[in-house]
Structure 1
Amino acid sequence: MDADKELEQRRSCYSAVATAYNRVRPRYPVDLIQRAIELAQLPPKAKILEIGCGPGIATVEFARRGFSMVCVEPSLQMCQFAQQNCAEYPNVEIQNTSFEEWDLQTDSFDAVLAATSFHWIPPEIACPKVADALRDNCPLILLWNVVPSPRYEVFQVLKEVYQNFVPSLAKYERIEQDKLNLQAINQTVIDSGRFQKLISDEFGYNITYNTDDYLMLLSTLSPYIALEAEARNALFAGLRAKIEQELGGAITLEHLCTFEIMEKTVEDE
C-alpha cells in the first residue's frame, strides 16, 4: 500500500465507529498517567504535541493537569469527539490532519505523546519528525492500551462461533505476544538513533462488559472493521447468543496498559 492510500485508510478507518470508540474503548488508568508524567519530569506548564489523539481519551487526562496540548488527528469524526471532550480546556488545540502532513514546529514541544497511535506511522517518518519537534532532552511518551482479551477458558467458549463464521479470527491472542509486539516498536524508536533512556511500566486489571458493550468494543477493532458487513453481522449474532446463553450476558476481559518514555538524543554540535 502506498503512502497516500495508507493516509486515506487512517482518515476513514475509525470514522464509522467513532461513536462506539468514544464510548467503550478503555481509558488509561489515572495512576498510569500520573506515573508517566512524573517519570517524564514534565514541567507544570509543559507544551505537549499529541499524535493521533482519537476522541481525546488520553488528551483529557493531560489537559486537566494544566498542560498545553496541540493534537493532530486524521479522522474528522474523531476530531469532533475530541473537541467535545476537551471543550472545557482552552489549552487544547485539535487539528484535523495526519502527523505526516502536519507542519513541523521545530524545537517547540516539551513532550510528544502518542496514545495507542504510534504504530500507525512509518518509523522512518515518525522518529525524526518527533525528535525535530521536541526541545533538547525532552521525552517521547508512548501510551498503549493493549486490546483487552478474554481469559483462555472464556475464549474457548467463543471459539466455535469464530470457526463457524470467521475462521481467520479463531485465534487466541495472548498478552505476552502483545508485549513482544510493543517491545519491537520501542526498539525501532531506539534504533533510529534519535532517542535514548527507555523507561517503562505497566498496569493490568480486569474490565467486565455486558454483551452490547463487548460487541461494540469489537466493532472498533481493526480486524472486525475490515470484515464484510454480512460476515461481521453473522459473527456478532453468534457471539451475542453464546455470551447470553453460556456466559450470563457479560464477559470479563484482561486489560493491560503500558507506557514507554524515551528522551530525545541531543546531536553533537
Structure 2
Amino acid sequence: MDFRKTFDTIPEEFDKWRPRYCEELYNHIITCTDLGPGKAALEIGPGTGQATKPFLKTGCDYLAIELGEHFASFMENKFKAYHNFHIVNGDFESHNFETQKFDLVYSAATIQWIPENIGFPKVYDLLKPGGTLAMFMTYSDEKSGNEALYEQIQEVYKKHFYVETKYTCRLDYEHVLNYGFTDLNYHEWKKERVLSADEYVDYLAGTQVEHITLKEPYRTRFYDGIREAVMRAGNQMKIMDTIALYITKKPD
C-alpha cells in the first residue's frame, strides 16, 4: 500500500488534529536564512499548511509541492489572500522544477516519505549555494505522563489493531551529510498536550497513518477500547511532545 495519499482522504480532520509546531522553531529558521522579500522558499508536502503561514508572512516567494489533490485544494483556499503563495499539485520525486532555485527548502514531517537517495540529492540541486534545508517533526511520548493507561492501551492494540500494511517509512536525518550538505545542527523544543478520550480517538483517527486504514470490525472495536481505557483513567491522556529540527546547508 502507498501511504502517501492516506491523509489526503481526510483533510479537515488532519488539519484539526495534527500537532502544531512552535514559534521558536519558525523564528530560528527564518533568522538563520534571513528569509524575506527577494528570497525563495520551497515547502515539500505541506498537507493543510500547519507550517506554512510563518514563512509566507516573511514576504518570501513561497512555493509548495503537494502530492494530494485535496490537500492542494485546501491550501489554495486557505492561503489565497497571499500574493506570494504558489502551489503545485505534483510528486516531488518526479516534478521538473526547471530553472527554479531556492534559498530555503523545508519539510514538516514529510521528507521521510522520500527515499534518501532521491530526496537529498534533489534538494541539494534545488538549493542556491549557501541555501538551507530544514527538516522538522514532532515526536510524541504517550507513556511518560500516563504509564498505567499506556499499558492498558497497548492491550487494546494487541486485541484489536489489525492493519493490512505496516507503515515503514523511516529516515536517518544525519545521512544528509552523505550528500554534500554541511553544518548539520539539531534543536528541540518541548510541549505538552492533554486530550479527553474523544479528543484522543479523533487525534489517532486523523493523524496516524495506519489507524486511518483500519477496517471493520477492527476499527470500531479498537476505538471503543481506546475510548474506554482513557475514560477509566479520568478522561485524560497527557502527551509530551518534542518538536525536533534538523537544519543543514549547501556549501557556498
Q: Does the alignment reach a TM-score above 0.5?
A: yes
**Corresponding residue for residue 173 of structure 1:** none
1:238 counterpart (225, 228, 232): 225
Q: How many residues align?
A: 244
Q: RMSD between aligned alpha carbons?
A: 2.2
Q: CA deviation at 1:36?
A: 2.2
Contact 1:146 1:255 in 2 (8 A): yes
C-alpha distance in 2 between matches for 1:48 and 1:54: 16
Contact 1:107 1:136 in 2 (8 A): no
The 3-state SS of whatever aligns with 2:129 is coil
C-alpha distance in 2 between matches for 1:201 and 1:39: 13
1:252 counterpart (230, 238, 244): 238
2:50 is aligned with 1:64: no
Contact 1:105 1:133 in 2 (8 A): no
- Listed as ranges, the gaps of 5+ residues in structure 1 are 169-180
Mark the CA change 1:222 to 1:147 in structure 2 (over 3 Å): closer, same or farther.
Answer: farther
Mark the CA change 1:167 to 1:100 in structure 2 (over 3 Å): closer, same or farther.
Answer: closer
Q: Normalising to structure 2: TM-score of the pair?
A: 0.88
Q: CA deviation at 1:78?
A: 1.3
Q: CA deviation at 1:149?
A: 2.6
Q: CA deviation at 1:231?
A: 1.2
Mark the CA change 1:86 to 1:115 in structure 2 (over 3 Å): closer, same or farther.
Answer: same
C-alpha distance in 1 between matches for 2:61 and 2:233: 45
2:213 is aligned with 1:226: yes
C-alpha distance in 1 between matches for 2:216 and 2:63: 36
Q: Normalising to structure 1: TM-score of the pair?
A: 0.83
C-alpha distance in 2 between matches for 1:218 and 1:191: 35
Higher helix content, 1 or 2: 1
Give deviations 1:172-200, integer Å, cap 9, x for gaps: xxxxxxxxx98x622221112x2111122
Contact 2:162 2:218 in 1 (8 A): no
Deviates more, 1:105-114 or 1:25-34: 105-114
Contact 1:200 1:259 in 2 (8 A): yes
Q: CA deviation at 1:14?
A: 1.2
C-alpha distance in 1 between matches for 2:100 and 2:71: 27
Contact 1:36 1:259 in 2 (8 A): no
**Corresponding residue for residue 75 of structure 2:** 82
- Listed as ranges, the gaps of 5+ residues in structure 2 are 164-168
Q: CA deviation at 1:167?
A: 7.7
Contact 1:22 1:81 in 2 (8 A): no
